[in-house]
Chains A and B, each alone.
Chain A
Amino acid sequence: MQSVKEEAVPRPVQRIASRAVDVAKVYGAGSTAVRALDGVDMEFETGKYAAIMGPSGSGKSTLLQCLAGLDQVTSGVIYLGDVDVTSLNEKHRTMLRRDKIGFIFQSFNLIPSLTAKENITLPMDLARRKPDAEWLDGLLDIVGLKDRLRHHPSELSGGEQQRVAAARALASRPEIVFADEPTGNLDSKRGGEMLAFMRRAVKEFGQTIIMVTHDPIAASYSDQVVFLEDGKIVDLMEGPTVEKVLDRMKTLES
């Protein structure tokens, strides 16, 4: 493989941001065991926007959670950059999430008692690190929330809340952002704005994003779509369009 050859060459940024090596995830045991992930091998390149798609129960959220170190695999290895996530203990995985990973969930992304600004800087505050003021400022310009920073989540619209979540995910300049159905709770207009913003982050800052979605429109914003079925990767699609994704999904679900 290409990556193996290049591993010896030192470089400032890993070419592969996230890697799954023969990953399996089994829930339960014996006859009731469910193989949510069944031998997944995948590399996600740095600076790319990847989407994971698949029917319900295909294991797409499980894969994301394993890649992010939120969940533990049954077998196989997960790398984040060159760090073996599967060998880390809970404390170090916490550090990893705090320092190297950004998260965007479908809903309930924000702490209600903190303001938008406090939510955005939360991971860095937890680490007692000072945010990069210039970066943050630029980020807030793009997100377009400068006048809403002192508001609490309950005072923000759903779209604004997701944008705050996106800003938080990017604020600490993480190596990778994991997004789990980030537009699932938004109408199509707000969803479009959100996706455009994420696209822009990839394009302008070289941010790596891995997103789980079931929405072909959302997937069409990505560089690469990974199709999952029954815990196995069944297809890869570079340069997806809505139509192509729709077609592929139809064959998957039938």
Chain B
Amino acid sequence: MWRTTVKGLMAHKLRLALTALAVVLGVGFIGGTYVLTDTINKSFDELFADTTQGVDVFVRSDTAFESQNASGSGDREAMPEEVLETVQGVDGVDTATGSVGGYAQLVDKEGEAIAPQGPPTLGFGYPDDETTENEDSAVTMRAGREPATSDEVMIDAATAEDHDFSVGDSVDVLFEGPKRTFEVVGIIGFGEADNLAGATLAVFELEAAQELFNKEGTLDSIEVTAEEDVSPGELRNRIATAVPDGIEAQTGDYIADEQSDSVQEALGFFNTALLVFGFISLFVGAFIIFNTFSIVVAQRTREFGLLRAMGASGRQILGSVLVESVIVGFLASLVGLVAGFGIAAGLQAMLRVFGLDLPSTGLVFEPRTAIIGLTVGVLVTLISAIGPARRASRISPMAALREASPQQATFSRKRLLVGASVTLIGAAILGAGLFVSLDNAVSYVGLGAAVIFFGVTALSPLFAEPLARAIGAPIQALLNVPGKLARQNSRRNPKRTASTAAALMIGLALVSMVSIFAASIKATSSRILDENLKADFIITSSAGGGFGGFSPEIAAGAAEQHEIGAVAAVRYGEFRLDGASRFLSATDPDTIEEVTSLGVVEGDVGDLDGGGVFLSTDVAESEALTVGDDLTMEFPADGKTDVPVDGIFETTDIVGSDFLVSLDTYAEQYTTNLDSVVLATVASGVSTDDARAAIDTATSDFPNVTVENQAEFKETQAGLVDQLLGLITALLALALVIALLGITNTLALSVFERTRELGLLRAVGMSRRQARSMIRWESVIIAVIGAVLGLVVGGVFGWALVTSLADEGISEFAVPTGQLIAYVVAAGAAGIVAAIPPARRAARLNVLEAIATE
């Protein structure tokens, strides 16, 4: 049996290759995801090990947790300068250097703010001549010297290179305070690396930095090196006992681990998100494998019958097909893992296009990647082959004697029943995930969707016939015989047509669901802005996606312009509620209601000046709080604090969170005070143009912000949604490619199966062109069936998703009709491409051999 299996495999290399390709791509994507995230992890690990190199102990203030500020760096309270002397006095300390850090954004020579997508824009202050004094330090001086005066700066080599700065140039730098101009006196690198994980760096003289970051008389951290005979752990203990309460000492290794842990946590989500797309691809691939094995088993009916007649048992036939699937799965997974390297590089390039610039060194291949890739690849192939293998094992020895033509598939009542029940079960699981609050809602949604796909696939032969008839009608009218034959062929075996189309259905269902979701978000956001936003101008960070903070000077400057009416800034802060990370918004209580409606249900926003908090109706309900109660919020600086609830508001969308406090309250809890949004109105009696000119003047010093009117802002918001949609669609493209491969595969097998028929057609006068056209249009019909089914399923998914999120504020259900139609057209066009190889094969067929085929 083993020999027959191997011989059978070798005899059908094309079939083998096409089946394998689906597995190769799926495993490749999964492998690629692991390779990419492992690579990023490793490069961060190395980076943090480098940056803490040569430092034995870090001293810093003790915080409840480290929050992220608007400029993308950690926010930690500063400590008094006196601590440095205390540390220096500890026995075993060789050197101790204090430093401060903060938001400092460089402006390039064209006047544009330099904004890396994701990584922070960091500023540091070090005492003169101490940065590179430590010989073990990773910091290397590339050119020039360290800043010695308050108008000198040292920048990282990557920024210098990218923006053409060299020693002696002057550079503008943006801070929380006003913009300042410095002279570049030095350029630094970090060993081999030109910068720190993509962050831009501006290093100032310590005293200058303290002033620039509003940290006079304080330090953010102290880097300590130990004397030779003292271990870092020992020294850490000694320092910890010496420093006052609220200050902690940690070893350099600890800090490196802490930093890479936080990166890994962030990457974990990213990894999972990418893996989801990998598994979707494999899921689609499973349909292709199932399909190929089904067709092949049908075509080999006679061969299996002969084997049975010669004494092979049903089990042996079953085993033979399953072994074939394992071999295919294993080989394909191996190739897939190799392809994973390419896919990792491709993903990286794609993410860069979408604005996520991640550092990387050489690609990292962990054994785990191989184990998961091979296991998943083999299992998916094996499971997909079980059904066809069982069918093969039931072929009777009599089949060897019968005419070999594959049987017409019939649609059984049983299939209808099973398909409908599976679909309903899937819908129930999906519904539970969406509408019932469960712990693991996302898993339920995913499982439900997968089950629905199986159910609809089982049902799809029912739709395939009428759909093929309908879609084929215009093609037949237009193309005469080739069109007619294309239409007839696609109807001939509805089961095969349907399961081929099903693979495409899955991809298109997901794409159209996401499109509907995106359109609904856009419609909702547009409506919310229309109904609530009173501001005429919206100022946001010009860094990618509107994320990132900017100086409060901008809001202050705008408020000074007499053409401008009310101005309110909004900034965000991270805090913890019952241990879970949440975000709060802070704004000016006196002006916020002039620039937007908050939908206040209870209380007076002006009361926020007293240090209280406004809660959204949702949070007030879930936390069972009313005005006058206290909410226990955990802040980075003060830890758990009871904050009085001053009021309840409905419209959370514009301020951006469920918790609203005053800017003063914010300043008490966070060290960095950067605005994320500034809303402003035109003063009464002033023309919009004049007001616009005024606000442009107010922001002229700050190239890191964008001023937009309502219409422009809306467009930008929609653009962000579209960008995300584009990213998801690009990731789903792999599943779509696999589905198209499935069409190619099915048609190739069909062409092989219909060799005689094609020969006859050619003999009686069908031209090669017509033969190609016939196959091409059959492909288009299959693809459009898949697209139409996908739109229907995706439409239902989209509707369910949007409906379930009504509570979260997505109140509009919008269907992007034009986009969906475009998908169907694109699917048809893709069908033409998928048909190229089988169509060519059909056209090249040797007429004589074809009609001589038994």
* Residues in A lying within 8 Å of B, measured CB to CB: 65, 70-71, 90-91, 94-95, 97-99, 103, 105, 108-114, 118, 122-123, 125-128, 168
Quick check: A113 and B492 within 8 Å, CB to CB?
Answer: yes
Cβ A111 vs Cβ B765 within 8 A: no
Interface of B is mostly: helix
B848 within 8 A of A: yes
* CB contact list, B761-776 vs A, under 8 A: 761-768, 770
4 A-B pairs closest in CB distance: A98-B765, A113-B488, A125-B481, A123-B765
Is there an interface contact between A105 and B851, defined as CB atoms closer than 8 Å?
A: yes
Using a CB–CB cutoff of 8 Å, the interface residues on chain B facing chain A are: 480-481, 484-485, 488-489, 491-492, 756-757, 760-768, 770, 847-848, 851
B481 lies within 8 A of A126 (CB): yes
- CB-CB nearest in chain B for A93: B847
Hey, which chain A residues are within 8 Å of B763, CB to CB?
70, 97, 103, 105
Separation of A189 and B491 alpha carbons in the complex (Å)? 36
Pair A105/B760 contact, Cβ less than 8 Å: yes
Query: Which residues does chain B contribute within 8 Å of A70, judged by CB atoms?
Result: 763, 847-848, 851
CB distance from B642 to the nearest CB of A (A): 78
Tell whether A111 pairs with B480 under 8 Å between CB atoms, given A70-B763, A95-B765, A97-B765. Answer: no
Of all chain B residues, which has the CB nearest A180?
A: B851
Report A-chain residues with C-beta under 8 Å of the C-beta of B765.
94-95, 97-99, 122-123, 126-127
Q: Which residues of B contact A127 (CB under 8 A)?
A: 765
Complex: A103 Cα to B759 Cα, angstroms: 12
A176 to B166, CA, bound (A): 88
Contact (Cβ within 8 A) B488 A94: no
Bound: A254/B760 CA distance, A: 36
Q: Which residues of B contact A94 (CB under 8 A)?
A: 762, 765-768
User: Is A114 within 8 A of B768, CB to CB?
Assistant: no
Give complex CA distance A168, B762 in Å: 14
Contact call A111/B760, Cβ cutoff below 8 A = yes
> Which of A114, A126, A128 is most buried by chain B, counting CB atoms within 10 A of its CB?
A126
Knowing A105-B760, A111-B485, A111-B760 are in contact, say whether A91-B766 is a contact too (CB < 8 A): no
Cβ A90 vs Cβ B766 within 8 A: no
Q: A100–B482 Cα gap in the complex (Å)?
A: 21
Chain B minimum-CB-distance residue to A154: B408
CB < 8 Å neighbour of B480 from A65, A95, A98, A128: A128
* Nearest-neighbor residue (CB-CB) of A113 within chain B: B488
Inter-chain contact A108/B760, CB cutoff 8 Å: yes
CB-CB nearest in chain B for A115: B488
- The answer to whether A97 touches B764 (Cβ under 8 A) is yes
* Contact A91/B848 with A97-B763, A114-B485, A122-B481 known, Cβ cut-off 8 Å: no
Closest to B767 in A: A94
Closest Cβ of chain B to A143, distance in Å, is: 17
Tell whether, in the assembled complex, residue B764 and residue A98 are in contact, meaning their CB atoms are under 8 Å apart: yes
A126 near B766: Cβ-Cβ < 8 Å: yes
Q: Which chain B residue has the least Cβ–Cβ distance from A127?
A: B765
Residues of chain A within 8 A (CB-CB) of B492 are 112-113
- Report how far A89 CA is from B764 CA in the complex, Å: 16
Q: How far is the CA of A151 from the CA of B681 in the complex (A)?
A: 78
CB–CB B848/A65 < 8 A: yes
Asked if residues B480 and A125 are in contact (CB atoms below 8 Å), the reply is yes
Check A71 against B848 for contact (C-beta < 8 Å): yes
Tell me, in angstroms, the Cα distance from A71 to B847 when the chains sit together.
8
Q: Does the CB pair B764–A168 fall under 8 Å?
A: yes
Per the bound structure, the CA–CA distance linking A118 and B480 in Å amounts to 11
A-B contact pairs, 23 of them (CB 8 A): A70-B847, A90-B768, A95-B767, A97-B765, A98-B764, A98-B765, A98-B766, A98-B767, A99-B765, A108-B756, A111-B760, A111-B761, A113-B488, A113-B491, A113-B492, A114-B488, A118-B484, A123-B764, A125-B480, A126-B761, A126-B765, A126-B766, A126-B770
Contacts of A123 in B (CB 8 A): 764-765
A94 CA to B484 CA, complexed, in Å? 20
